[in-house]
Amino acid sequence: MNIESLVRENIRALKPYRSARQDYLTGVLLDANENSFGSVVTAENLTLNRYPDPYQREVRTILAAMNDVALENVFIGVGSDEVIDLIVRVFCEPKWDSIVLLEPTYGMYRVAASIQDVDVRSCLLTEDFQINTGEVKRKVDASTKLIFCCSPNNPTGNLLRVEDILALCDLNSIVIVDEAYIDFAKTESLVKMVLDYPNLVVLRTLSKAWGLAGVRFGYCIADPVIISYLMKVKSPYNISALTSRMTLQALSKGVEVRQTVDAIIQEREWLSGELNKLLCVKEVFHSDANFILVRCTDAGALYKLLAGKGIIVRNRSSEPLLENCLRITVGTHRENEMLINTVKEYYE
């Protein structure tokens, strides 16, 4: 497959901005109009008055090793939301190209495409929230540059079948597999498949299992050609020195992350069981993520009741296939008990 041919012509021709820190990170640095006198605030062992490494070599090297790929396979964004936005901008010609979404799914794919004036073709998931591959193949044509697959899917919580995702990789489009919640699933990431499928992009984030939503750090693993175009269009210093510092610290804490993930999974199973017992809940869907989708007798009323008590969940009822559905993040045990007790007090 020729990835280059899927890239927008103007992006192929683009001469990227050359930033000062691309060539030199140390020395008598009089090349970037930074403040040579220092910074007004300091952080231990961190240089804040200098622009950070535009190539993010240190963090990318560690992420590459963690994922058993090369540095050239890794791109970092300000959250995976930035990566999503940049992928759309690299491949999709406004007013001309299209993307395919497997809905209901994460809302930012549609927003990123709409900002770029790119057509969104929606393929509904099947009743059991799997990919309708026949339908996707019918909707894809020469203008379809991207197919977004979210696995485990937000807001349904389930994993998509790997064979279905790989079947989409036979199409002449980029297939993005968003694995934001993969750490909560008892299955392997698709990262290794990137080496076999040059049109596969695997998206990861530190916002979920790693507990760093406030830091804003996401990344993708893909073929070096795709990574080189993302590097070309990103703003020169998108990842701050502070973000890199926090990320480097976090990435050394794999054991602690595993413990937290195990605790969240245990709590998810407890919460699922308790939700299942509630009379106002008709169905609790299986979850491979850190949230649970439930179908209620009246999602709007339950949402209002909980919000009135200061317990905020997400009402997904307006999404296709999700009539009367709420999405509930797994909280701490105390928070989950508050939720269950509040519902019981009112309804039972």
Which region, judged by CB under 6 A, interacts with ligand PLP, from 34-42, 54-62, 75-83, 312-320?
75-83
Residue 275's contacts (CB-CB under 8 Å, 6 or more residues apart) are: 281, 284, 292, 294, 328, 340
Segment 129 to 148, residues that bind ligand PLP, using CB under 6 A: none
Q: Looking at beta carbons only, is 168 or 212 nearer to ligand PLP?
A: 212
Q: Looking at beta carbons only, is 75 or 106 nearer to ligand PLP?
A: 106
Contact status: 178 vs ligand PLP (CB under 6 A): yes
CA–chain centroid gap for 297, Å, is 31
Residue 145's contacts (CB-CB under 8 Å, 6 or more residues apart) are: 6, 91, 92, 97, 98, 99, 173, 174
Which residue is associated with the tokens 């439930």? 294
State both tokens at 108: 């930012």
* Angle between helix 241-251 and 57-67 (nearest 10): 30
Q: Looking at beta carbons only, is 121 or 216 nearer to ligand PLP?
A: 216
- The residue from 52, 54, 104, 218 that contacts ligand PLP (CB under 6 A) is 218
Which region, judged by CB under 6 A, interacts with ligand PLP, from 56-64, 74-82, 164-172, 338-346?
74-82
Where is 109: in which H helix or E strand? helix 108-115
Q: Which residue is nearest to ligand PLP (CB)?
A: 79
Q: Cα-Cα-Cα-Cα dihedral of 233, 236, 242, 243, to 10°?
A: 10
Contact status: 79 vs ligand PLP (CB under 6 A): yes
Q: Which of 182, 228, 217, 229 is nearest to 202 (CA)?
A: 182
Q: Whole-number minimum distance, CB 38 to ligand PLP, in Å?
A: 32
- The residue from 63, 88, 100, 180 that contacts ligand PLP (CB under 6 A) is 180
DSSP-based helix, strand, coil % in the chain, nearest 5: 40, 15, 45
* 79 in Cβ contact with 212 (< 8 Å): no
- The residue from 80, 133, 199, 287 that contacts ligand PLP (CB under 6 A) is 80
Segment 89 to 108, residues that bind ligand PLP, using CB under 6 A: 106
Contact status: 220 vs ligand PLP (CB under 6 A): no
Contact status: 288 vs ligand PLP (CB under 6 A): no
Contact status: 157 vs ligand PLP (CB under 6 A): no
State both tokens at 153: 């899917």
- x/- site string to ligand PLP, residues 42 to 71, per CB under 6 A? ------------------------------
Q: Contact positions toward ligand PLP, by CB under 6 A?
A: 79-81, 106, 150, 154, 178, 180, 205, 207, 213, 218
